[in-house]
Amino acid sequence: MDKTATKILFSFDKTVNSEETLQAAVAIARKSNSSLHYILTEESASLGSGSEEDVVKDFKLKHGVQLEISNFPGNFWKGLSVAAEKLKATFVIVGATPAKAGLLGGGMSAKIDKLDCNMLFLNLNSKWQTPIDLVMPVDSSSETRQKFSPASHWAKLFYSNVTILEVKKSDKGDDAKMSHVYAIQGNNYMVEKGLRTKVVDLGVTTEIVNAILAHSNNLRSKWITVMGNSEGILRVSAIQKICEEATCPLLIVPYREPIGLGGSGY
């Protein structure tokens, strides 16, 4: 079960259109009846000129949302992960250029793991949009089911349609079988939550991210739900690619080790 967010952390770096992330933060705070906490790292953009007290006061008058600002040293992602841990964040909204992987790994998958809480991510090309449709790709890895709960939480809050994309690289063996099984489980889960849902089979493809983005581009206003896992076909390289190329907000769920039997997704 998702924890209900009463305080949402957010931050954006100096490379993105701050207005898109700000619109996202305000809209989500209003919808979830939450307050906002801006994390100011060494690479974060400022929320406004004047004293912190004036910025907070002006923000409340303009947006009708309670704001708090905290400074955290370090680069953008380090400061944000320290803040999320210290403030026990359950949800973070981020506007930033995707972190690049180096020779020893890293990239967005590593930042997601460090943050260790659900995140709405907007890159420099992302436009804020209310999720009329929430897209949830499902592959053959059991941990893909960990997206079910957070996806249903936000879909219910925004009255979204849930589109489950069944993705696979082969039409034989466990890859084809389990991606279909988990897609049906996801559909049943959403129906039990009272959500409008459908399953779309994207067919067999090695260009998984391209297929997901191409289908999503046909939808009116959407978020795409992805997971920071390192297994299955939605693995590290796919997470990096979708973070770089998506033009809509991404609801990112960090991978967590299942506790007990049948823990994934439920």
The per-residue pLDDT for range 146-170, each reduced to its tens digit, is 999 999 999 999 999 999 999 998 8
Domain presence at residue 219? yes
Q: Say whether both 105 and 200 belong to one domain.
A: no
Q: Say whether both 62 and 84 belong to one domain.
A: yes
Domain presence at residue 105? yes
Phi, psi of 155 (to 5 degrees): -65, -40
Closest C-alpha among 205, 190, 209 to residue 147: 190
Domain stops at, among 92, 122, 152: 122
Q: Say whether both 153 and 220 belong to one domain.
A: yes
CA distance 3 to 5: 6
Burial state string for 7-23 with b = 16 or more CB within 10 A and e = fewer than 16: bbbbbbbeebbbebbbb
C-beta separation of 225 from 137 below 8 A = yes
Across the range 10-35, mean pLDDT stands at 95
Closest C-alpha among 157, 193, 164 to residue 179: 164
Please compute, for residue 40, the number of CA atoms within 13 A of its CA located in the half-sphere on the CB side.
11
Q: What is the pLDDT of residue 227?
A: 84
Across the range 218-233, mean pLDDT stands at 78
To the nearest whole number, what is the mean pLDDT of the chain? 89
Q: What is the pLDDT of residue 169?
A: 87
This model's pTM is above 0.85: yes
Helix (H) or strand (E) holding 254: strand 250-254
CATH of the domain at 148: 3.40.50.620
Q: Say whether both 52 and 72 belong to one domain.
A: yes
CA distance 53 to 135: 39
Please compute, for residue 161, the number of CA atoms within 13 A of its CA located in the half-sphere on the CB side.
12
Domain presence at residue 260? no
pLDDT in tens, 161-205: 999 999 998 888 888 899 999 999 999 999 999 999 999 999 999
pLDDT in tens, 129-152: 999 999 999 999 888 999 999 999
Report how many domains make up the chain: 2
Q: Say whether both 146 and 215 belong to one domain.
A: yes
Q: What is the pLDDT of residue 238?
A: 86
Show the domain range for 112: 7-122
Q: What is the pLDDT of residue 18?
A: 93
String of DSSP letters for 22-90? HHHHHHHHHHHT-EEEEEE-TTBPPS-SS-HHHHHHHHHHHHS--EEEEE--SSHHHHHHHHHHHTT-S
Q: Say whether both 224 and 177 belong to one domain.
A: yes
C-beta separation of 107 from 228 below 8 A = no
C-beta separation of 93 from 117 below 8 A = no
β-pair type (101-102, 105-106): antiparallel
Q: Say whether both 75 and 115 belong to one domain.
A: yes
Q: Say whether both 30 and 118 belong to one domain.
A: yes
